[in-house]
Amino acid sequence: MIIRKPVAVLQFAFLICITVLICVGVYYLVSRQTYIETMFSTEIGKKNGLKGKITELRLTEKSDKGDVWHILSKTAKVNAEYIELEDVIMDYFSIEHGPANLSSKTGVVQSKTHDASFSGNVILKSPKPFLLLTDRLDWDAEKRILSTDEDIRVETDESVIMGRGLVVYVDTQDFTILHSVRAV
């Protein structure tokens, strides 16, 4: 009888400890604030959005019209305003105009406007055929215009055209070379 009483007291104390630990754990989980956001659901522009450096970024998006683009980047630095990309390859498929491919050394995508700038050995190809070579290319997402103020070289099946400055109207597939136009 002497042994049973201390064992019963220890069992009761053990049950009380377990109950207290469970209550404290539940209180902690319920009462703490969480700021966890995944890369896929975050609005990058939010104050507590994703920040950091990502290696080997692969992003696929699809528009309401069915256009699809894939972006591959060696690294991506993300903050609230923009995403900096390194060694960029972008494949784009338009339902209306077919595929296009862009590559550049670096790129910056604005989080709110989706405008983008690509620089360093920028190459834009489409099967029209159309090949654009320049050192910088900017994308205005709202106007759907590609542009540059840099030297450009445009190659098609029939000709090679060089100049300075370019505006490409993506929806109509027209382009205008702004200055110093010369055919080679």
Q: Taking the model in full, what pTM does it have? A: 0.67
Length of the chain equals 184
Token pair for 61: 């998006």
What pLDDT does 167 receive? 92
pLDDT mean for each 10 residues of the chain (184 residues): 64 73 64 43 48 72 77 84 88 81 90 88 85 92 90 89 90 85 86
Rounded Cα distance, 108 and 85, in Å:
6
What pLDDT does 19 receive? 74
What pLDDT does 3 receive? 58
What pLDDT does 38 receive? 38
What pLDDT does 118 receive? 94
3-state secondary structure of 32: coil
Would you say 153 and 160 are in contact if contact means Cβ atoms under 8 Å apart?
Answer: yes
**What letters, b where the CB count within 10 A reaches 16 and e where it falls short, cover 4-39?**
eeeeeeeeeeeeeeeeeeeeeeeeeeeeeeeeeeee
What pLDDT does 43 receive? 47
What pLDDT does 79 receive? 80
Amino acid at 77: K
